[in-house]
Each structure stands twice: as structure tokens, then as C-alpha cells.
Amino acid sequence: MCNRDPRSRQLRQLMEKVQNISQSMEVLDLRTYRDLQYVRNTESLMKVVDGKLKVASDNPRSLNPKGFQELKDKVTQLLPLLPVLEQYKADAKMIMRLREEVRNLSLVLMAIQEEMGAYDYEELRQRVLLLETRLHSCMQKLGCGKLTGVSNPITVRASGSRFGSWMTDTMIPSSDNRVWSMDGYFKGRRVLEYRTMNDFMKGQNFVQHLLPHPWAGTGHVVYNGSLYYNKYQSNIIIKYHFRSRSVLVQRSLSGAGYNNTFPYSWGGSSDIDLMADENGLWAVYTTIPNAGNIVISRLEPQSLEVLQTWDTGFPKRSAGESFMICGTLYVTNSHLAGAKIYFAYYTNTSSYEYTDIPFHNQYSHISMMDYNPRERVLYTWNNGHQVLYNVTLFQVIKTSGD
């Protein structure tokens, strides 16, 4: 499936470059919008500091100990602006690289136009679309890897209560940018659907879904147009379809603890955690026969039947949160500041290892952490803040030699 005929080799290379540039531009757009908002928010604070400095300069005696401490506190509040400005510098360098890539792409396009000038435009467009589809399929197949690092946090928005969940669909095409938000962990029923990530950041252009059954915990996932969640005070998993606004199926997860029997370390009825990765839909939970150790089950998305189950041997109450990447469960050792990714269980070999992958828990209380394979980022809900982390995967990409 990953083979290409020789005539399409140049188009394949072009599409790979376009895809890389598009991903870089998306990251830049998100970071720039976030940083710009932060700079705007600190503008008034800088004016206050500037005004106080002018007063102190004109009349040094006016700066009493209390005024000095207030000025010092204001300057401390401005310190987070420094890494934002450093990020701006890095982004400026990336823009220069992208500009050079675009120039090179223009030359490649001109060469392709000369070489394939005899092709009808529509035929060429169809060939490009076909190649893009095949390339995407191959990238999905070859894109798995082992987690080696987590980026600094990217705060997208501060909204809602201390606990909650937010996500994008893990399977839909990249052109669909809807975002879903579910505030709270206890007996909630209201799901907000935003049209785009920018709308979510601004808190505008959303519709509301009122679930027929309340949820428990924050371990929800949107997978192929449906919300999968744990029904309140039960071990029942519900599949709710957004378009039809109806429950398509619900099934009990046999033996799974619920109602704070086996939650993560932060509590919050987080007994059952649903998640998705490159390999499909998963449930992370535990049972009394498993002595409170984390159990992983791969689920059939249509029927919610359990296809296969693994006992990791890791106590769930000692875990802060967990997420799946490429069939591997990664577990954090805490939900508080100083947490790190401490344990990994590999379902393909039924083996585990202890890890030491640090990440910055900026707001000191994570109540939801999930991986999105389509975007290759971690979504977290951190003390009323919606935060993203980029991940670094160690990948071995095999080519067909074409």
C-alpha cells in the first residue's frame, strides 16, 4: 500500500514537505495566539509597573517599604513573560526556515509543472488527492513509537472548575477541528461542542449536548464522532453519538470498580478511564480480583465488547493519571507538582518498565491527561486550565526503497 509508481515520486516528496509545513504552521498559530493573549494581558501590568517606577524616580521618598514590596510583587508577576519572549525568538527562527522551505517548494512545483505539463489539471488534482490519502495511511501505519519526552505546557484556556475534561476527536479528518469540554467529575450531563480550537480559546460558537445519563470521573474520550464515558454510579460504559444525539450502545465493564473504589490518586470517581490511540479504543480500570492493580482492556468500538485484557501489576491508587500511545500505557506517579511519567506497560509484549520522563505540572493539580494520536499531543485539565503538551516519540521508519 505504501509503494508509489516512479512518476509520482516527486509529488510524494512534495506532499511530505507540505504536510510538515502545515503541521509547523498549526503549531505556530496556536503558540502565537496564546503568547499574544498573554502579552496583551500583561500590558496593563507593565503600565502599572512603569508608572510606579516613574513616581519613585521623581520622588524617591515616596517609595516606602510597603510600596517597594508591591512593586517587587508586580515585577515578579511579569517574570513569566520572559519564556514567552524566548518562544517568540524561536518561532521567528522557525518562520525563516518555513520561508526558505516555501521558496524551495515553489521551485519543485515549477519543475513538476514542466515535467507533467501534458496532464489535465483535474487528472493531476485527483492524483495528488490519491497520493495524499495513501501517504496519510502510510504515516499512520509507520508513525508509532516509544515516548521519550514531553514538551513544556501550552496553556490554551483557563475555564471551568478545578476538575474536568476536554478533547478533540481522535479519528476524524484534520479538517474537522471541533473541541468538546466537560466541566466537573460528579454527576455532570452538559457537554459543550466548539466549532474550532480558536472558538474554544475564546469561549464562543458552541452548541450544548445534554447527555441522557450523567457521567462519573473525567476519563471520557471522543472517538469517530461518538463520546464514550462512564455512567454515574456504575461500571457501565456509554457510547453517545453527537450527530444523532442518542445513545448507540451501553455495556457493563465486567468486574470494574466504580464510585471511587479504585480511582487515581486524586480521587474524583476516576475508576474507569477511557482513551484512544493509534491501535483503537481502550479502558483503563481495576477490579477486586486484580487487587487494585491497573487493568487495560481493548474495546470493540461498535459493541463495547472487551477484545483483550492485560494486568499491569501497577497499583491504580498510586497513579496520578495515565494515557495510551501506540499500545503502550504510560502512568504518572502523581497528579501534583513534581510529577513524572514513571511506568510504561507494553501490550504488544505484555511487559513493563519503570521510566523517568519529566514534565512540567504548571498548575499543580492534573485531573485528566489523554493522548490524541491524530494531533500527537497530550490534552490535560490542570486546576481549571486546559493545557497541551507535545510529545517526542522514538520512531523507526522503514521505507520500501522506492
Going by pLDDT thresholds of 50, 70 and 90, the confidence category of residue 7 is very low
- What pLDDT shows up at residue 14? 67
Q: What is the pLDDT of residue 195?
A: 94
Q: What average pLDDT score do residues 245-251 get?
A: 97
**Is the pLDDT assigned to residue 231 strictly greater than 90?**
yes
Kindly indicate the confidence band of residue 129, based on its pLDDT and cuts at 50, 70 and 90.
low
Q: How would DSSP label each residue in 39-81?
A: HHHHHHHHHHHHHHHHHHHH-GGG--HHHHHHHHHHHHHHTTH
**pLDDT given at position 201:** 94
Q: What is the pLDDT of residues 44-67, one digit of tens each?
A: 777 777 777 777 777 777 767 777
**pLDDT higher than 70, residue 310:** yes
Confidence of residue 133 (pLDDT cuts 50, 70, 90): low
pLDDT band at 117 (very low <50, low <70, confident <90, very high): low
pLDDT, residue 271, reads 97
Rounded to the nearest integer, the mean pLDDT of the chain is 84
Instruction: Name the amino acid, one letter, at 252.
Output: S
Q: Within the chain, what is the greatest distance between any pair of CA atoms?
A: 82
In which band, very low, low, confident or very high, does the pLDDT at 401 lie, cut at 50, 70 and 90?
very low
Q: Check residues 303 and 75 and name the one with the higher pLDDT.
A: 303
Closest to 206 measured CA to CA, from 188, 226, 190: 190
Residue 185 identity (one-letter amino acid): Y
Please give the full DSSP string across 226-277, using - where no structure is assigned.
Answer: EEEEEBTTSSEEEEEETTTTEEEEEEE-TTB--SSSS-BTTBTT-S-EEEEE
pLDDT at 330: 98
218-229, pLDDT tens digit by residue?
999 999 999 999
Residue 296, φ and ψ in degrees, nearest 5:
-110, 130
Distances (CA, A) of 35 to 92, 116, 310, 360: 13, 43, 42, 18
Kindly report, residue by residue over 88-97, the tens digit of the pLDDT: 667 667 777 7
What percent of the chain has a predicted confidence (pLDDT) above 70?
74
**Least confident among 141-145, 298-302, 319-323, 368-372:** 141-145
Q: How far apart are CA 13 and CA 347, in angstroms?
A: 34
Note the pLDDT of residue 395.
66
pLDDT, position 53: 76
For the residues 223-246, what does the mean pLDDT come to? 96
Q: Of 388, 371, 280, whose CA–CA distance to 322 is shortest?
A: 371
**What is the model's pLDDT at position 132?**
56
C-alpha distances (whole Å) from 297 to each of 170, 205, 216 are: 18, 36, 19
Strands of the sheet containing 221-223, edge to edge, are: 221-223, 226-230, 236-241, 246-252
SS3 category, 8: helix
**Which carries the bigger pLDDT value, residue 232 or residue 136?**
232
Check whether 163 has a pLDDT greater than 50: yes
What pTM did the predictor assign?
0.66
pLDDT at 100: 73
Single-letter code of the amino acid located at 166? W
Query: Would you place residue 6 in the very low, low, confident or very high pLDDT band (cuts 50, 70, 90)?
Result: very low
What's the pLDDT score for residue 46? 74
